[in-house]
Amino acid sequence: MNTLAIMKSTKMRIVHFNRYGSTDVLELGEVEKPMPKDDEVLIKVRATTVTAGDCELRAFKITPLFWLPVRLYIGVFRPRIPTLGQELAGEIEAVGKDVTSFKVGDAVFAGTGGKIGTYLEYKCQKVTHSIALKPTNMSFEEAATIPTGGLNAIYFMEMANIKPGESILINGAGGSIGSYAVQMAKSLGAVVTAVDTGRKLDMLLSIGADKVIDYKQQDFTQMGITYDVIFDVAGKCKYTPTVNALKEKGRYIQSNPSLEVIFRGLWTKWTSSKRVLTGLAGESLEQLAKLKEMIEAGKLKAVIDKRFTLDDIVAAQQYVEAGHKSGNVIVVV
Ligand SMILES: NC(=O)c1ccc[n+]([C@@H]2O[C@H](COP(=O)([O-])OP(=O)(O)OC[C@H]3O[C@@H](n4cnc5c(N)ncnc54)[C@H](OP(=O)(O)O)[C@@H]3O)[C@@H](O)[C@H]2O)c1
């Protein structure tokens, strides 16, 4: 290998994120390729995703409840993290000297465990959390969708404690989290009503929804039907009509809670048999292993809408931000 080739191989491409704002703040650049520490692996990224959360972080449109902690974490005046992105799939190119659970060449998928940053070509990752071998029946592109959609869906579906035969309505079912949640609820034996925009409804029926509702045409809270569980992924439900659309002992799961939902949820708990539940999904190895098992058993599949490259990252974020996304948008690295 000549000197130029060696120099080239020490650099990697990355989408810089130095300011909060419109997609104009995203710039493709080059930095030194990282070296794994003793307890890390170096992953050659084959695919990552653009999620609604990535766009919300870039523009810093964060729910008021989490605004301050997230701002303190990401950077008060400007982002401290080098790039955006929360999930990836790729191949292990190097392992630190203490790593025994993975080897060079392993195909893996990984979340960032809150340490955002996957719009790049190489990523160092600790092996103690949020990394697992890629399911054998998924491509890198499909596997890259598991950490956000899959982990959030499994966390909130476990919270819902669904019993076979119960009814669940998933509001915002056509996105990253919802498309996994529909399949999980179905595999738990629930009767699933999926709510989203019209052009996503066929996809929702194809992944197992029993009924679909176009939220632009009909308000599910005004249809005279009640549910055991209502999971509001989109964070758009109105509190009183939603709680009224629950059966006795019904659970209202809110993945995007406001202070209003939290306080009114306490009142609902004290005065009725209904429950309002929320939380933040973690990225444990156990949950990733459960997801891998469900995928390999054919219970879950990834819904992929469009593919972009790192060069097209602005177009990818604009597509997601405009609300066009159905399932997941992939960035092929
Ligand atoms: N608590 C947590 O741990 C956690 C973790 C990750 C993400 N989140 C949050 O959860 C939210 C959803 O994430 P995601 O990645 O699944 O987003 P996503 O892929 O954009 O999916 C959201 C879906 O909701 C639909 N939608 C929008 N307005 C709606 C309405 N009024 N009624 C019904 N459906 C509506 C959207 O469709 P159209 O816009 O096309 O109409 C889209 O299909 C994000 O805000 C994210 O920040 C929470």
Q: How many CA atoms lie within 13 A of 65 on its CB side?
A: 13
Give yes or no for residue 196 CB within 6 A of ligand 1: yes
Give yes or no for residue 79 CB within 6 A of ligand 1: no
210 occurs within a structural domain? yes
Number of domains in the chain: 2
Higher pLDDT pick, 193 / 324:
193
Q: pLDDT tens digits for 14-69?
A: 999 999 999 999 999 999 999 999 999 999 999 999 999 999 999 999 888 889 99
Q: Averaged over 3-7, what is the pLDDT?
A: 39
44 occurs within a structural domain? yes
Q: pLDDT tens digits for 227-270?
A: 999 999 999 999 999 999 999 999 999 998 888 899 999 999 99
User: Same domain for 266 and 316?
Assistant: no
User: Same domain for 141 and 16?
Assistant: yes
CATH number of the domain within which 178 lies:
3.40.50.720
Give yes or no for residue 218 CB within 6 A of ligand 1: no
Q: What is the mean pLDDT of the chain?
A: 94
User: Same domain for 160 and 141?
Assistant: no
Residue 9 pLDDT grade (very low, low, confident, very high; cuts 50, 70, 90): low
Q: pLDDT tens digits for 265-313?
A: 999 999 999 999 999 888 889 999 999 999 999 999 999 999 999 999 9
∠ CA 251-252-258 to the nearest 5 degrees? 145
User: Same domain for 24 and 118?
Assistant: yes
CATH number of the domain within which 306 lies:
3.90.180.10
User: Same domain for 232 and 265?
Assistant: yes
Cβ atoms of 246 and 221 closer than 8 Å:
no
Give yes or no for residue 172 CB within 6 A of ligand 1: yes
CA of 306 to the centre of ligand 1 (A): 17
- DSSP letters, 163-195, are -TT-EEEEETTTSHHHHHHHHHHHHTT-EEEEE
Whether residue 113 has pLDDT greater than 90 = no
Q: pLDDT tens digits for 200-226?
A: 999 999 999 999 999 999 999 999 999
Cβ atoms of 19 and 25 closer than 8 Å:
yes
> 107-111 and 246-254 as β-strands: parallel, antiparallel, unpaired?
unpaired
The residue assigned the tokens 């999980």 is 184
Please report, rounded to a whole number, the percentage of residues in the chain having pLDDT higher than 70.
97
Report the pLDDT value the prediction gives residue 2, as an integer from 0 to 100. Answer: 39
Give yes or no for residue 277 CB within 6 A of ligand 1: no
Give yes or no for residue 280 CB within 6 A of ligand 1: yes
User: Same domain for 247 and 193?
Assistant: yes
Whose alpha carbon is nearest atom 23 of ligand 1? 172
Whose alpha carbon is nearest atom 33 of ligand 1? 172
The region that residue 21 occupies, defined by phi over 0 for left and psi between -120 and 50 for alpha, beta otherwise, is left
Report the pLDDT value the prediction gives residue 323, as an integer from 0 to 100. Answer: 85
Residue-range definition of the domain harbouring residue 46: 3-145+302-332
User: Same domain for 141 and 9?
Assistant: yes
Give yes or no for residue 323 CB within 6 A of ligand 1: yes
292 occurs within a structural domain? no
Whose alpha carbon is nearest atom 34 of ligand 1? 172
The residue to mutate among 84, 152, 329, having the most atoms of ligand 1 within 8 angstroms of its beta carbon, is: 152
Residues 6+ apart with CB under 8 A from 175: 52, 149, 196, 233, 234, 325, 326, 327
The residue to mutate among 197, 230, 277, having the most atoms of ligand 1 within 8 angstroms of its beta carbon, is: 197
Q: Averaged over 86-98, what is the pLDDT?
A: 97
Enumerate helices (H) and strands (E) in the chain, giving the number of each.
Answer: 11, 15
User: Same domain for 193 and 234?
Assistant: yes
User: Same domain for 173 and 125?
Assistant: no
Token duo for residue 138 = 């998924």
Whose alpha carbon is nearest atom 39 of ligand 1? 323
User: Same domain for 137 and 269?
Assistant: no
Cβ atoms of 175 and 183 closer than 8 Å:
no
Higher pLDDT pick, 233 / 5:
233
Residue 164 pLDDT grade (very low, low, confident, very high; cuts 50, 70, 90): very high
User: Same domain for 129 and 30?
Assistant: yes
CA of 106 to the centre of ligand 1 (A): 32
Whether residue 127 has pLDDT greater than 80 = yes
User: Same domain for 169 and 226?
Assistant: yes
Whether residue 3 has pLDDT greater than 70 = no
Element (H, E) at 92: strand 87-95
Residues 6+ apart with CB under 8 A from 227: 167, 168, 169, 193, 245, 246, 247, 250
